[in-house]
Amino acid sequence: MNPKLLVSILFFCGAAFAQQSADIQFKSTEVVPGLYMIEGVGGFAGGNLGLLTGDDGVILIDDSLPPLSDKMQAAIAKVTGKKVDFVINTHVHGDHTGGNPAMAKAGATIVAHDNIRKRLAANKDFDKTGLPVVTFSDQVTFHLNDKTAHVIHMQNAHTDGDAIIHFKEADVIHTGDLLFNGMFPFIDLNSGGSVNGYIAAQEKILALCGPDTKIIAGHGPMASKADMKANLDVLKDGKKLVGAMIEQGKSEEDVVAANPLAKYHDKYNWQFISTERMTRTLFKSLSK
Ligand SMILES: [Zn+2]
């Protein structure tokens, strides 16, 4: 593992986080009747959560980080007034699966792509009581509260176990980390992600969007179809720019020095994925 990645992981999971977690609160927003986005405010609280609730039962999409499990469960209970029946993990990262053990203990059935279970099972730091107990390879559909939730696997995009959740009638999509709204995306090449897979996944999501589709991004504010397209366009342009330099025989350091993503820096650079890191990810993934 390169030192930079390690620093980034520590940023997400380390002592600094534990200190600031006291300030974090979860905020619920009703997206359409019975379907909520829950986001952490006041510090980094993991990915945005999706929550479907109604007479038939409750589905939670992703479950934040372990130190926040109590707060997260309290925020969910405030909205639903009952226990969570199913948790769907959009991918393996700890800021989306960290609450699995707490949710399993509270009686939820954890559902995830096959590769998420494999990766969590191999992770010695993961509490195995939170392993997914229902897994799928391609897709699975939930039928609850007069809504369908179509869970669709996207191949080798952010990781090798990504899924999006498409609430067709409600016209809402939870993208997991296949959208960092208004930020350069994290594409985890060490966990099976790829630039081409990420672009293909975003194109598939865009094809599911109508003019009024509401999109819950993995990170960042609620998104529209136009936001989704804007983020995809940045990545496609980045691929074009860095790809052309690779074809000219430029080295990774040459490409970083030339800074082909400079025009996107002010809007898309952020703490975890800097413009330089995005450039290196494009170079590494497209050179393969
Ligand atoms: Zn992630």
Rounded distance from Cα 247 to ligand 1 centre (Å): 30
Residue 105: partners with Cβ closer than 8 Å, 6 or more residues away: 129
Are residues 24 and 43 in contact, defined by beta-carbon separation less than 8 angstroms? yes
Q: What is the pLDDT along the chain (288 residues), one digit of tens a residue?
A: 344 444 455 445 444 555 567 788 999 999 999 999 999 988 888 899 999 999 999 999 999 998 899 999 999 999 999 999 999 999 999 999 999 999 999 999 999 999 999 999 999 999 999 999 999 999 999 999 999 999 999 999 999 999 999 999 999 999 999 999 999 999 999 999 999 999 999 999 999 999 999 999 999 999 999 999 999 999 999 999 999 999 999 999 999 999 999 999 999 999 999 999 999 999 999 998
* pLDDT for position 16: 52
Rounded distance from Cα 96 to ligand 1 centre (Å): 7
The full set of domain ranges for the chain reads 19-225
The arrangement of secondary structure in 19-225, i.e. its CATH architecture, is: 4-Layer Sandwich (3.60)
* pLDDT for position 7: 43
* pLDDT for position 259: 98
* pLDDT for position 42: 85
Nearest residue to 140 via CA among 201, 191, 80, 89:
89
Rounded distance from Cα 186 to ligand 1 centre (Å): 7
Rounded distance from Cα 122 to ligand 1 centre (Å): 18
Rounded distance from Cα 47 to ligand 1 centre (Å): 8
Report H helices in the chain: 3-13, 15-20, 69-80, 94-97, 100-105, 114-122, 195-208, 225-247, 252-258, 265-268, 275-287
Are residues 192 and 235 in contact, defined by beta-carbon separation less than 8 angstroms? no
Rounded distance from Cα 249 to ligand 1 centre (Å): 31
pTM for this model (two decimals) = 0.93
Rounded distance from Cα 46 to ligand 1 centre (Å): 9
* pLDDT for position 5: 47
Residue with tokens 């993995």: 218
* pLDDT for position 125: 94
3 state DSSP class of 94: helix
- Tokens representing 177? 């980390």
Rounded distance from Cα 197 to ligand 1 centre (Å): 15
Rounded distance from Cα 159 to ligand 1 centre (Å): 8
* pLDDT for position 62: 97
3 state DSSP class of 189: helix
Nearest residue to 241 via CA among 227, 258, 228:
258
* pLDDT for position 229: 98
Rounded distance from Cα 146 to ligand 1 centre (Å): 30
Task: Tell me how far apart the alpha carbons of residues 138 and 38 are, in angstroms, rounded to a whole number.
Answer: 26
Task: Tell me how far apart the alpha carbons of residues 89 and 50 are, in angstroms, rounded to a whole number.
Answer: 10
Are residues 131 and 97 in contact, defined by beta-carbon separation less than 8 angstroms? no
Phi, psi dihedrals of residue 231, rounded to the nearest 5°: -65, -40
Are residues 223 and 209 in contact, defined by beta-carbon separation less than 8 angstroms? no
Residue 224, amino acid = S
* pLDDT for position 10: 46
Rounded distance from Cα 177 to ligand 1 centre (Å): 5
3 state DSSP class of 135: strand
Task: Tell me how far apart the alpha carbons of residues 128 and 197 are, in angstroms, rounded to a whole number.
Answer: 29
Rounded distance from Cα 187 to ligand 1 centre (Å): 8
3 state DSSP class of 277: helix
Q: How many degrees, rounded to 5, is the angle at CA 129 between CA 104 and CA 42?
A: 60
Burial (0-12, 13-18, 19+ Cβ within 10 Å), 138: exposed
Name the residues around ion ligand 1, CB cutoff 5 A: 93, 177
